[in-house]
Amino acid sequence: MQLLKEKIMTEGKVIGGDILKVDGFLNHQMDIHLFNEMGKEFKRRFQYKEINKILTIESSGIGIACITAQYFDVPVVFAKKHPGANMSKDVYQSQVYSFTKKQYYSIKVSREFVNSHDKILIIDDFLANGNAVKGLVDICNQAGAKVQGVGIAIEKGFQKGGSVIEDLGLRLESLAVIEGFADGKVILR
């Protein structure tokens, strides 16, 4: 997706060798014009799939998921990393290894909001090694929900997430794929 690629090239910063920082338009300040175009593009790419719910993970997936959901006219459920005291105890949960924090955390979704009738589109901001998506797929499997596809804003194509999702037999649509980083610069596919 051209607009997203331009944003990455002009505003993205490579940190620590394998992390792309995009706080100016995706992960901290959010460019709503860009999000709107991303939502439209996810709808175009998954238009022939029956989808009644979008599932994402807090926090950076939520904004993209909500704008995308307007095009599908479906609700968004986000998996919680920090369940508050008022969260239901009746949850599906999964363990996820965080690529950026290098530690495991658990994600939880109330059983009330995902069920065996659901046809789910998973949305997230980044795909690295695929652990966040695997956790969301695990929750869908526990609920008996069908995963209809995975939509990612930025896939780091040099990490294994793409093949992890392919091995799960799921359709993956990434709006921008990074081939690699060289001398602190982004190389797009």
Give the footprint of ligand 5GP on this chain (CB under 6 A). Answer: 19-22, 27, 60, 99-100, 124-132, 156, 161
**52 vs 83, which CB is nearer to ligand 5GP?**
83
When the beta carbons of 130 and 149 are compared against ligand 5GP, the nearer one is 130
Nearer to ligand 5GP, 41 or 125 (CB): 125
Question: What minimum distance in Å lies between the beta carbon of 48 and ligand 5GP?
Answer: 26
Contact 170, 142 (CB under 8 A): no
126 closest CA partner among 97, 158, 151, 101:
151
How far apart, in whole angstroms, are the C-alpha atoms of residue 39 and residue 151? Answer: 10
Name the minimum Å distance from CB 50 to ligand 5GP: 25
- Residue 24 C-beta: closest distance to ligand 5GP, Å: 11
Residue closer to ligand 5GP, measured from CB, 29 or 100:
100
With CA atoms as reference, report the closest residue to 66 among 52, 77, 80, 82. 77
Looking at residue 116, the DSSP 8-state letter turns out to be T
Give least dist CB 90 to ligand 5GP, A. 25
Phi-psi region of 48 (alpha: psi -120 to 50; beta: other; left: phi over 0): alpha
